[in-house]
Amino acid sequence: MSNVVDARGLSCPQPVIITVNEIKKIGQGEITVLVDTDTAKENVSRATNSQGWSVLEINPDEEGYKIRIGK
Amino acid sequence: MKNFLATRWGIIAVGGFIGILASLLQFWGNPANMGICVACFERDIAGALGLHRAAVVQYMRPEIIGFVLGSFTAAYLFKEFRSRLGSAPVVRFILGVFAMIGALIFLGCPWRALLRFAGGDLNAILGLAGLAFGIWVGTLFLKSGYNLGRTHKTHTAAGWMMPLIMLGFLIIMLFNPPVIGENQGGLLFYSVEGPGSMYAPLIVSLVVGLLIGFLAQKSRFCTMGALRDLILFKQTHLFGGLLALAVMAFLTNLVLGQFNVGFVGQPVAHNMHFWNFAGMGLAGLAFALAGGCPGRQLFLSGEGDGDASVFVIGMIVGAAIAHNFGLASSPAGVTTAGIGAVIVGVLVCIMIGLTMKEKVA
């Protein structure tokens, strides 16, 4: 349950690449993705859905957003 | 709040809107098939500042100023402004320089490649194919772990630098208007003939620029990203915006009688097919390595991304280099020096792509 992908500070399309890599690695379960821009938040959410996963929760924090995704 | 502009129909609407306005700008006075061209207009800005002295391409383009300030406004209004920098700025500068040189070999940025195609210039097909090829090479590097490292949060005012530069350009322009028949109006250079002498009224260009900057910041419109996401993830989201731009510009051109199909005699274009392909290939690779097309880099500059600002400055300097050393093409075709510059640029981009891998996961 402690899969965390830290995509903060990375430019396009890195946040999506590392999120999708993690999705493919674990196949099923839950991942927390940390992003720091709205663009990355939208891109990661879109990629999550296209991988057949869903966005469970998005929490804004000091540094940006904490996105919980799962399947 | 759901961001409509970042949905499928949102990005299509923004792309279409840009296409219509670009075509209209040509009708209102901008050069043919160059309603909006980020590379050409940054080159004209370099000329206006006297960084190069190619007398036919000097004008402080208000569209570019509007892009940055419009994006800045949207970012502040929607609380997305975030000052950040530090992801290999000098590398981004060099990528900007070679992106511009490649674009000036073809004679246009990706936006203008689409607008040229939408105006019937078939040479644009080679440019667009080159762009896709360059981006495809970029995705190979991305897949094998290329990245320029993380940015860092910085002082809020650091993110104001590019918007302030653009505001400064606007103020300088207002106080130094063109003098009819003169190449210099106060501090700024103004083309008396050639593409630089063709422009829509200042207020029109500025308002259109502000509108596009505002909408593009929210929609994340990016032509390079459109092709990259299609190649890398088989994702068509951004591609919808790119298509909409081309289709709507084409339809508007038909209505305004600006459509003229062929390879020969096209405005501000040459028909050396291989070099159209190679120039845009170099630019596409540089955009892919830098993470955005030239328009997108301006919008990012407006929302506080200092690295994107460095890329933009690289492009402006690249334009000066291209014209001072005779690297840029003209309607007569490419130059020997230009061919050399494409080869050097491709080698530099490959070196960057191969050597810069930072472990991030």
Domains of chain A, first to last: 3-70 (3.30.110.40)
Count of C-beta atoms within a 10 Å radius of residue B79? 8
On the question of pLDDT at B304 being above 90, the answer is yes
Query: Is the model more confident about B312 or about B358?
Result: B312
Question: How far B173 CA sits from the closest chain A CA (Å)?
Answer: 33
pTM: 0.96
> What 3-state DSSP class applies to B332?
coil
Per the structure block, which two tokens stand in for A51? Answer: 């991988």
For the residues B14-29, what does the mean pLDDT come to? 98
On the question of pLDDT at B262 being above 70, the answer is yes
B360 vs A contacts (CB less than 8 Å): 6-7, 10, 14, 18
Q: A46 and B84: CB-CB below 8 Å? A: no
Nearest by CB to residue B220, choosing from A16, A39, A47, is A39
Residues contacting residue B221 through CB under 8 Å, at least 6 positions apart: B11, B14, B15, B18, B215, B238, B241, B295, B296, B299
Burial status of residue B193 (CB atoms within 10 A of its CB: 0-12, 13-18, 19 or more): exposed
Query: In this complex, is the C-beta atom of B225 within 8 Å of any C-beta atom belonging to chain A?
Result: yes
DSSP B185-234: ETTEE--SSSGGG----HHHHHHHHHHHHHHHHHHT--HHHHHHHHHHH-
On the question of pLDDT at A1 being above 60, the answer is no
On the question of pLDDT at B1 being above 60, the answer is no
Q: A63 falls in which pLDDT band (50, 70, 90)? A: confident
CB of B117 within 8 A of CB of B53?
no
- CA B217 – CA B300 distance, rounded (Å): 7
- CA B221 – CA B334 distance, rounded (Å): 31
For the residues B68-88, what does the mean pLDDT come to? 96
The pLDDT, as a whole number, for residue B361 is: 56
Would you tell me which residues 281-300 of chain B have a C-beta closer than 8 angstroms to some C-beta of chain A? 291-292
pLDDT digits (tens, 9 = 90+) for B341-353: 999 999 999 999 9
pLDDT digits (tens, 9 = 90+) for A32-46: 999 999 999 999 999
Which chain A residue shows the shortest CA-CA distance from B154? A9
- CA A16 – CA B19 distance, rounded (Å): 28
- CA B108 – CA B267 distance, rounded (Å): 12
Query: In this complex, is the C-beta atom of B356 within 8 Å of any C-beta atom belonging to chain A?
Result: no
Question: How far A34 CA sits from the closest chain B CA (Å)?
Answer: 12
On the question of pLDDT at A16 being above 80, the answer is yes
- CA B111 – CA B224 distance, rounded (Å): 10
- CA B176 – CA B190 distance, rounded (Å): 10
In sequence order, which ranges of chain B are alpha helices (DSSP H)?
8-28, 38-48, 62-77, 89-106, 110-118, 123-143, 161-175, 202-219, 223-233, 237-256, 273-290, 294-302, 306-324, 336-355
- CA B87 – CA B308 distance, rounded (Å): 10
Nearest by CB to residue B150, choosing from A8, A17, A47, is A8
Q: Domain boundaries in chain B?
A: 2-355
For the residues B118-133, what does the mean pLDDT come to? 98
Q: B237 and A16: CB-CB below 8 Å? A: no
Q: For B58, phi and psi rounded to 5 degrees? A: -130, 110
On the question of pLDDT at B2 being above 80, the answer is no
CB of B306 within 8 A of CB of B159?
yes
Q: B53 falls in which pLDDT band (50, 70, 90)? A: very high
CB of A36 within 8 A of CB of A8?
yes
Average pLDDT over chain A, rounded to whole?
A: 92
For the residues B106-122, what does the mean pLDDT come to? 97
Q: A50 and B291: CB-CB below 8 Å? A: no
Query: In this complex, is the C-beta atom of B6 within 8 Å of any C-beta atom belonging to chain A?
Result: yes
The pLDDT, as a whole number, for residue A62 is: 84
Would you tell me which residues 15-54 of chain A have a C-beta closer than 8 angstroms to some C-beta of chain B? 16-18, 20-22, 36-39, 42-43, 46-47, 50
Which chain A residue shows the shortest CA-CA distance from B1? A38
Task: Measure Cα distances from B197 to B2, B37, B59, B181, B331 in Å.
Answer: 43, 15, 7, 10, 17
